[in-house]
Structure 1
């Protein structure tokens, strides 16, 4: 038989490139990467001995029998082991996402063990192949060993992939890559059966391996672009792997007031500073895996015990000097979190949530926080809250309550602030202070905010608010929503769907959203074109000043309740000065936290246009709010006195 080797050389060339990337670059010490390297070795071994065995079998005369048998045995062993290693690679990929997905071990090992037994005894039994004076001959179990082995492991792999698809733990591209890789191998096996003289199966295998490399092994997939450090995906893989082997160490740090520093120094300078800090950490701790998790958070992971106190002291000492480079000079502070022990939870994502929660606490307390059982319980509670938020969004059960707004000039209720509430079937009533923060951290705040906006629009569509004397309903926009460039078009689409004009609404934006000035101004301009009106919420809780606020088209500023109540606990000139300052520029003032008649009178005297607080009413359900407004219109003096 005349064999054709045209495809082999391209296969070896691509294989050589992947060897360079996989064996001469640092990769994560996780099972998937180990299996990928083994797959490359198995492919190289099989290709080489495939060519050698075919060449020697064609010109067998004069070649020692032991050499012929050695090459043939090596090829067959490589062929079946390559299929086995490919399955192990797929299994490691799937188990990174869901560790409980697995095939029965005895079944997986039995196939390759039987195949190897038949192959290794063939020089004597002739069951797979035989060599005699007339040359090389195919044995009666040849096809069974090669193709039954190959299709068995492809079937096992597909079963794992489909199980992962059913549990929704794979992304769309990951599903396509895995199933596509299996399909390529099926086509390759068929091609080898039909055209055995063409050594094309190795090329199909190389193509499948290349697909896996591009989809899963490419180092860029696990590198954070700003810093060149590992990203969150890499951290999750490390935690999954380290969690299988006992205790490991984690040291995390967060740059304090990161958003404000980014606004102060500028995005470009801050990104340059992050790269300098990343290089410092990588150089200072070469025995650790260093990652950047966005928002000024770095994390170092190691198997060995880390000297946490010394690491804190070293970094604090380094922070006493600026992070300096060409055109960069940053003065920063940091807070720290440490952990040593086994992975406390099944999912690495949950552990990262523990770290994020602990970093927030460390920044607030300005001290090293050790993740312990208390932190684990708090993080578990947050995970339950997050699940409740996701359920409420999915089932459209986020409730909207309305807290009345009293107009001091009109001397009546003129509007309300829409407030979200979640009553979960498992957790009951959840405090907004809990679920809002959790939703912001998980990224679901956008869906939650839009669901509230839609329900407010439905309320305005169903109620004759003019007859009730309601001018506008205030709706909160989270800072994350304000950073979304597509937010205006989505809100406009919702309002149109319910035939609601933006003149019936007032959009409340918190101080922290002002940090992203350009995006926020662009979004506000788009909404202004639809007659939207804006209010700055919670003034006094951040770093905004009067002139900074005036850069934005706010019609009124809402003073935070802690700011208002501080004035009544100890009178000072700050509150009146702020009210006078805004009013001189035509900006109205809304005061939160009004709890007594005395507060209502004094704030009215100081010039506040709108009052909000428990003195007037707590947040009410839609039906109770409508009844409350109707009642106050009939007898305003009896209901509200001051």
Structure 2
């Protein structure tokens, strides 16, 4: 029988390259990587002894029988072990995303154990193959053993991949890669059956392994580019691996006011500073796995118990000096989080949420936060709020409340601010201070804002607000919306669907959105061309000054509640000067947090054009708001006077 070896050289070349990258380039100490290394070993054994056994079998009589038997046995061991290790690799990969997905151990091991037993006894039994004076012969159960083994593990692999897909724990490219790798092997086994004289199966296996390497094993996939540290995906894999142990340690730190420092120093300087800090951490803690989680957050993971107090003190001491490099000099502060113990959660991403929640609290309170049971409950509560926000957005159940705006010149209610409210079946009414922050962090704030805008459009389309004296409805735009260059088109499309002109709105933009000046100015210009007007929200809570605000086309500036109330508590006497300054440039001033008659009188005297606060009304549902406006506008007994 004439065998064809022409496909082997390319397969061996690719295998050699993968060996170099996998065994000599740093990889994570996790089960998946160990399984991939063993899979490469099995492929090498199969490939080498496939060539040797085929060569010597076709040259029978020139080599001692014991050598031929040894080569044949090693080839078959590699062949069935390769299928088994392929499944083990797929299983370890899937279990990183969903640990509960696995097949019974006895089923997984039985197939390969029976196959190996039949192979090892074959030199005497002839079940798989036999060699006698006439040469090499295929045994009665040759195909049954090899292809039962191969297709069993392929079916096992496809089964757990489909289970992972059904649980939506795999990214789209990961789904295609895993299914594709399995289908390549199916085709390879079919080709081996149809063309037994062509050594094709190793090539198909090598293509499948290469697909998995490019999709999952390339170490560069787990490196964060700015710092050279591990990225979040790598951190999740390490947490999953360490979670199998009884105890491991985490020390996390966040650079305080990271966004503000990035604006202050510039993106290039901050990125350079991150690299300097990363180098410091690598040098100082070589036994830790160090990951950068974006937004100035670093996490160190260790098998041993870490000296947290000492680490905090050492890093604080280092922060007393600037982080220096060419054209870089950064003065920073940091806050810290610590954990020591078992993982105690089903998935590592849940633990990562605990770390993120603890880091936010550490930064707010400027103290070390230890992740304990109370901290876990706080993070679980945040997760429930996030789920409630997502559910409300998906099911269009975000409610809109309206807080009246009082015009001091008109001496009546002239508008309202639209405010989002979420009522969850389990959590009840969720505070806006909670769910707005959650929506901003999760990226769902854009959908939330657009849903509120659409409901306000529907309100204006079905109610004769002008007849009630309502000139404009104020609608908030989040900083994330303001950074989106497609935001004007989406708002115009929503308003157009309800046949509402943008002149009916006053779009409120917070101070933090002013940092992205070019994008914001372009968005405001496009909306202004469609008759929209703008108000700067929460003035006095950030770093904006009068001249910076005047670079933007704001018709109105809303003074933050804390800024207004500080004036009345005698803690801040700047309010009159601020109001005069804006008025001198023709910008109206709205005051939030008006709670008493005296505050309303004084703010009117100072020149505020619009007042908002509980003195007039709390935020009201649509029907209650309409009733309130009708009552205050037309019933003399309920007319607002001060």
Same fold by TM-score greater than 0.5: yes
How far has the Cα of 1:307 moved from its partner?
1.3
Does structure 2 retain, via aligned residues, the 8 Å contact 1:73–1:119? yes
Aligned counterparts, 1:322-471, within 5 A: 322-471=322-471
* Partner Cα distance (1:298, 1:548) in 2: 34
2:540 paired residue number:
540
* Partner Cα distance (2:329, 2:551) in 1: 27
* Partner Cα distance (1:388, 1:121) in 2: 61
2:83 paired residue number:
83
TM-score by length of 2: 0.98
TM-score by length of 1: 0.98
| Deviation sequence 1:195-242 (CA, Å, 0-9, x none) | 011111101001011111111112232121211211111111111111
1:22 paired residue number:
22
Say whether 1:183 aligns with 2:195.
no
Q: Aligned residues, how many?
A: 642
Aligned counterparts, 1:8-407, within 5 A: 8-407=8-407
Does structure 2 retain, via aligned residues, the 8 Å contact 1:473–1:505? yes
How far has the Cα of 1:62 moved from its partner?
2.7
Comparing 587-596 and 356-365, the one that deviates more: 356-365
* Partner Cα distance (1:476, 1:417) in 2: 8
1:568 paired residue number:
568
Does structure 2 retain, via aligned residues, the 8 Å contact 1:91–1:160? yes
1:623 paired residue number:
623
Does structure 1 retain, via aligned residues, the 8 Å contact 2:335–2:359? yes
Q: Which runs of 5+ in 2 are unaligned?
A: none
Which secondary structure does the structure 2 equivalent of 1:557 belong to?
strand
* Partner Cα distance (1:526, 1:246) in 2: 58
How far has the Cα of 1:471 moved from its partner?
1.3
Comparing 149-158 and 569-578, the one that deviates more: 569-578
Does structure 2 retain, via aligned residues, the 8 Å contact 1:255–1:333? yes
How far has the Cα of 1:636 moved from its partner?
5.9
Residues 202 and 636 of structure 1: CA distance in aligned 2, closer, same or farther (over 3 Å) = farther
* Partner Cα distance (1:222, 1:269) in 2: 24
| Deviation sequence 1:514-536 (CA, Å, 0-9, x none) | 22223322322332232222211
Which secondary structure does the structure 2 equivalent of 1:81 belong to?
helix
Which secondary structure does the structure 1 equivalent of 2:14 belong to?
helix
How far has the Cα of 1:639 moved from its partner?
3.2
Which secondary structure does the structure 2 equivalent of 1:608 belong to?
coil
* Partner Cα distance (1:637, 1:579) in 2: 32
| Deviation sequence 1:288-319 (CA, Å, 0-9, x none) | 11111111111111111111112112211221
Does structure 1 retain, via aligned residues, the 8 Å contact 2:559–2:590? yes
* Partner Cα distance (2:518, 2:274) in 1: 22
Comparing 297-306 and 477-486, the one that deviates more: 477-486
Comparing 441-450 and 402-411, the one that deviates more: 441-450
Instruction: Give the CA RMSD over aligned residues.
Output: 1.3
* Partner Cα distance (1:435, 1:550) in 2: 31
* Partner Cα distance (1:604, 1:547) in 2: 24
Which secondary structure does the structure 2 equivalent of 1:558 belong to?
strand
How far has the Cα of 1:572 moved from its partner?
4.7
Does structure 2 retain, via aligned residues, the 8 Å contact 1:260–1:515? no
* Partner Cα distance (2:8, 2:92) in 1: 28
Does structure 1 retain, via aligned residues, the 8 Å contact 2:319–2:331? yes
Which secondary structure does the structure 2 equivalent of 1:6 belong to?
coil
* Partner Cα distance (1:591, 1:550) in 2: 18
| Deviation sequence 1:17-75 (CA, Å, 0-9, x none) | 11111111111111111111111111111111111110111112131111111100011
